[in-house]
Amino acid sequence: MQQRLVIIGGDAAGMSAAAQARRLRNVDGTTSTHDLSYDASHRGIVLFRDERWPRGGQVRYELTVTRARADQRWEYSVRVQAQFHAGGHATIVLPDHEFDLDLASGSLRAVQ
C-alpha cells in the first residue's frame, strides 16, 4: 500500500523535513525511526555582570541517539562536562578525552 506524506511549510525547514523523510524510507517500504534524548544540568555557575564568560561552575550534557530499522538497532551516547575556571578558561571532559578551552579566543587544546 502506498503511503503519502504531507510536509507543511515551503521554507528551508520544510525542504529539510521532506529530504529526511525520503532518506528514512527504505526501498522495501519500511521506515527507520530515530529517538533523541537530551539532558543538561548546571551547578554553581558564577557570572559577573560586566564579564563575558563564567568564572566558575559546571555544566553537564548527556545526549543519546537511538536508530531502529527493521530488526536492527543502534544507540550512540555522548557525555560532556564543562568546568569553568576564573581567568576565562574551561575544561571540557569527554569519556576518553580532556580539553582546555580559552573562552576569549575559542582555542581548544588537548590536555595530556
pLDDT one digit per residue (tens) for the chain, 112 residues: 556 665 555 556 666 666 666 666 655 555 667 777 878 888 998 888 888 888 899 999 898 888 887 778 888 888 999 999 988 899 999 988 999 999 889 899 999 7
Contact predicate 72/31, CB 8 Å:
no
Helices and strands (DSSP H and E) totals, the chain: 1, 6
pLDDT of residue 4: 61
- Domain membership flag for residue 51: yes
- Domain membership flag for residue 76: yes
pTM: 0.59
Q: How far apart are CA 85 and CA 92, in angstroms?
A: 11
Q: Which domain holds residue 91?
A: 32-110
50: DSSP letter: T
User: Rounded to 5 degrees, what are φ and ψ at 5?
Assistant: -130, 130
CA 35 to chain centre: 13
- Domain membership flag for residue 19: no
pLDDT of residue 59: 92
- Domain membership flag for residue 92: yes
How many other CB atoms are found less than 10 A from the CB of residue 25?
14
